[in-house]
Amino acid sequence: MLDVSGLDAYYGDSIILKNISLRIKQGQVVCLLGRNGVGKTTFLKSIMGLVKTPNGSIMLDGTEIIKMPSYNRALQGIGYVPQGRDIFPNLSVYENLLLGLERNKNNSTLDESIYELFPVLKTMLKRKGGDLSGGQQQQLAIARALVSIPKLLLLDEPTEGIQPSIIQEIAKVIKKLKSKGNITMLIVEQYLEFVLEVADYFYVMDKGCIVMEGNTKYVEPRQIQAKIAI
Amino acid sequence: METYVLQIFNGISVSSILMLAALGLAIIFGLMKIINMAHGELIMIGAYVTFVTQNIFMSYVDKDYFDIYFIFALLAAFVITAFVGYLLEITIIRHLYGRPLDSLLATWGVSLVLQQLARSIFGAPNVDVKSPTWLDGGILIWGDLQLPYKRLFIMLLVALCICGVYYFLYKTTTGRRIRAVMQNRTMAKSLGINTRKVDAMTFAIGSGLAGIAGCALTLLGSIGPTLGTNYIIDTFMVVVLGGVGTIIGTVAGAGIIGLGNTTFEFLTDASLGKVLVFSVVILFLQWKPQGFFTIKSRALDE
C-alpha cells in the first residue's frame, strides 16, 4: 500500500529525517511513536509533499509520488489531518467539509453518513470553523479528510490537547473505519494507551531514524515506554 | 445647498472609482500578499483597450451601432486585462510569493515597462475616448443641480462589480477554493486544491477588475500612459484603510477616502485637502493598524 524507502527530509538546510523506510499494508492501522522533535510530523509532511525530500522513494499503491506536488498526492487518495487541525477559520463548518471533497473531481455532494460518525458536526454546520473548540475542530478535521473516502489517512496527534471523552469517540471512529477494512491509516501519536487500543503495528522513531517496530499485540508496552520516555 | 449636494455626489462618485480600482487590488493583496505596483498600469491597459475598441467600431462598424461599443469595450477591457494579469502571474509574480519587498520592486519595474510600452504604441500625448451618446446629459434634480449620467453609470457599474465579486467569492465553488487558499495555503494544497491554478486565476480576476476600472475612467477624461499612476496611491490607501482582504472594508475605505478628498478639497484647496486626508488616515491607522474591518476569529493552536 504505502512503501517508503531511503527517505531524507530537510527544513531549509537542516536534515530532519535520515534514510527512513516504512511499509504499511492494505487495511492496516499503523502508529508512529516517538518523543517530541524526533521528526514524526515531518515524516507525515514529507508523505504529503510539504517539506523538501531530495532523496528516497514514496510508493503509493505502486505509484511513485515523491515528485508530485501536494495537491496531486491528495488526488491519489491521501487524506491528511495535520497536528494543528488546520481548519479554515473563516469558513463555515459546512464549507470546511465541502473542501474535503476537492479530491473527488466528479462528486460534489456531501454524503450524510459522515454525520453518523461525528453527530456533533451536524448541529453546527453554519458556524465558523474557527469558533469551534479544539475537540470539535479535531473531529471536523478528521471528518473533512474522510468525506472523500481516502485510501490512506494520515493523522497527526489526534489526541493532543483533547478531553478523554472525545479521545474515546475518536478511537471509536478509527476502530469502526478499521472494521470496514477499506481504509489504511498512519497515526502519529504519543499517547501509548490510545495507540495500543487502535493500532495493528507500530514504529518508534528517534532522532530522525526508526529505532523499533513490531506488532502491537505481541509487544510489551514497557519496552515502547522505555524508548519514548524522556 | 445645491453646492453641498453636488459635492457629496462628487465625493461618492470619486469613491466609486476608487472602489473599482481597489477591489482588484484588495483581492490580489489579500490573497497573495503581493504588493502589486503595476495595478495602476493594469487600469491604464483597460483604458487603452476601450480606446482601441472605440477605434475599431469607428472604422468597421455602422455608425448607428457605434454607441454600443462601450458594452463591448467593458467586456474586452476585463478579458484582455485579465489575460495580461495572467501572463504577469505565470512569468513574474509566481516567483515572488512570500517576498513582499521583492514583489514591490519587481512590479514597480513592470509598471515602468508597461508605461513605456503604452507610450511606444499610442504616443506620449493623451488620447480621447468619445463617450457613447446615451451617457450624455444627466438627471435634473432641481434648479441647476444636474447629476451626470456618466457618473451615475459608473456608480451602477461599481455596485454590479461588487455584487459580482461577492457572489463569486462566497457562493461559488471556485470562490470557496480561493478563500481556502487565502486562509491556509498549506492545508488547501493538502486537500487537493491546485494552488498554482487558484493563484493564477485570482491574479487574473483582480487584474480584470482593474481593466473595468480603466474602462470606466475613459468616461471622465482623456487617457494617457500615466493614467494609472494617479490612482495607485489612493487605491493602496483604500486597501490599507479598509482592512486587507475584505470586500466591505474596501467599500468603506473607498467611501471615506473619496468623500474625504472632495470634502477637504472643497473646504481648503487641492493640495491641502490631500495632506489632510493623509493625516487622517495616518492617525486612524495608529489607532487601528489593521484597518476598519479585520478578519477575526478564535484562532486555536496559534
User: Is B171 in the A-facing interface, judged by CB distances under 8 Å?
Assistant: no
The residue of B171, B178, B191 whose CB has the most chain A CBs within 10 angstroms, and thus the best one to mutate to test that interface, is B191
First to last CA, chain B: 54
Which one of B195, B295, B299 has the shortest CB-CB distance to A71? Answer: B195
- Chain A residues in contact with B94 by the CB 8 A cut-off are none
The answer to the question of residue A108 being in a domain is no
Domain count, chain A: 1
Q: Can you give the pLDDT at residue B249?
A: 87
Residue type, A31: C
The verdict on A108 touching B (C-beta cutoff 8 Å) is yes
Q: Which residue of A50, A99, A108 is in closest CB contact with B180?
A: A99
Please give the pLDDT value at position B47. Answer: 95
ipTM: 0.89
A10–B contact, CB cutoff 8 A: no
Q: Do the Cβ atoms of B190 and A128 come within 8 Å?
A: no
Residue B301 lies in a domain: no
For B4-37, the pLDDT digits (tens) are 888 888 889 889 988 988 988 888 887 778 889 9
Question: Which chain A residue's Cα is nearest to B193?
Answer: A71
> Going by C-beta distance under 8 Å and a sequence separation of 6 or more, which residues neighbour residue B105?
none
At B99 the three-state DSSP class reads: coil
pLDDT of B79 > 90? The answer is yes
B6: phi then psi, degrees, rounded to nearest 5: -65, -40
CB-based contact A131 B196, cutoff 8 Å? no
* Nearest CB neighbour to B301, from listed A69, A84, A108: A84
Question: What does the alpha-carbon distance between residue B212 and residue A132 come to, in Å, rounded to a whole number?
Answer: 40
User: What CATH code is carried by the domain that includes residue A202?
Assistant: 3.40.50.300
Chain B residues touching A75 at Cβ < 8 A: 192
Enclosing domain of residue A158: 2-83+150-228
pLDDT tens for B277-297 read 889 989 988 988 888 877 654
Using a CB–CB cutoff of 8 Å, tell me whether A178 touches chain B: no
pLDDT averaged per 10 residues, chain A (length 230): 91 88 91 90 93 92 91 92 90 93 78 87 91 91 91 92 89 89 89 88 89 86 79
Residue B276 domain-assigned (yes or no): no
C-alpha cell at B200: 493564477
Provide, as residue numbers in chain B, all residues whose Cβ is less than 8 Å from the Cβ of A50: 186, 189-190
Structural domains counted in chain B: 1
B75 SS3 class: helix
Task: Tell me the C-alpha to C-alpha distance, in Å, between residue B90 and each of B81, B105, B179, B209, B284.
Answer: 14, 17, 20, 18, 37
Q: Please check whether residue A142 lies inside any domain of the structure.
A: no
Please name the member of A86, A90, A161 whose beta carbon is closest to the beta carbon of B187: A86
Chains A, B: CB contacts within 8 A come to 84
Is A99 within 8 Å of B196 when comparing Cβ atoms?
no
Say if CB B272 and CB B264 are below 8 A apart: yes
Q: What is the CB neighbour count within 10 angstroms for residue A143?
A: 22
Residue B102 lies in a domain: yes
Chain A residues touching residue B180 (CB < 8 angstroms): 88, 91, 99
Residue in chain B closest to A136 (alpha carbons) equals B300
Q: Which of B174, B182, B187 to mutate to test the interface with A (most CBs of A within 10 A)?
A: B187
Q: Using a CB-CB distance cutoff of 8 angstroms, which residues of chain B are in contact with residue A74? A: 189-192
Q: Is A131 domain-assigned?
A: no
pLDDT of residue B67: 84
Sign, Cα dihedral of A99, A103, B207, B107: positive
Closest by Cβ to A71, choosing from B176, B184, B192: B192
Min Cα–Cα distance to chain A from B297, Å: 6
Q: What confidence score (pLDDT) does residue B299 get?
A: 42
Question: Is B179–A88 a contact, with Cβ atoms under 8 angstroms apart?
Answer: yes
Tell me if B262 is assigned to some domain: no
Which chain A residue has its CA at the smallest distance from B197's CA?
Answer: A71
Cβ <8 Å between B190 and A48 = yes
Whether the CB of B286 is below 8 Å from some CB of chain A: the reply is no
What integer pLDDT is reported at residue B298 of this predicted model? 44
Which pLDDT does position A107 carry in this prediction? 67
Assess if residue A207 is contained within a domain: yes
Distance CA B56, CA B68 (A): 12
Query: Choosing among A50, A102, A124, A149, which should be mutated to test the B contact, i.e. which has the most B CBs within 10 A?
Result: A102
pLDDT by residue (tens digit) across B119-139? 999 998 999 988 888 888 888
pLDDT tens per residue across span B49-76: 999 999 999 888 888 888 889 999 999 9
How many Cβ atoms are within 10 Å of B283's Cβ, its own excluded?
9
What would the mean pLDDT of B171-196 be, rounded to a whole number? 91
Domain that holds residue B163: 2-231
Q: A89–B176: do the CB atoms touch at under 8 Å? A: no
Chain A, 114 to 133: residues with Cβ < 8 Å from chain B are 128, 130-131
| A222 in any annotated domain | yes
> Distance between CA atoms of B6 and B262, rounded to whole angstroms?
10
Burial of A70 (0-12, 13-18, 19+ CB in 10 A): buried
Cα separation, B241 vs B231, whole angstroms: 15
pLDDT tens, residue by residue, B172-181 = 999 999 999 8
Q: Is B186 at the interface with chain A, CB within 8 A?
A: yes
If you write DSSP's letter for every residue of chain A in order, what string do you get? -EEEEEEEEEETTEEEEEEEEEEE-TT-EEEEEE-TTSSHHHHHHHHHT-SB--S-EEEETTEE-TTS-HHHHHHTTEEEE-TT----TTSBHHHHHHHGGGG-TT--S--TTHHHH-HHHHTTTTSBGGGS-HHHHHHHHHHHHHTT--SEEEEE-TTTT--HHHHHHHHHHHHHHHHH---EEEEE-S-HHHHHHH-SEEEEEETTEEEEEEETTT--HHHHHHHH--
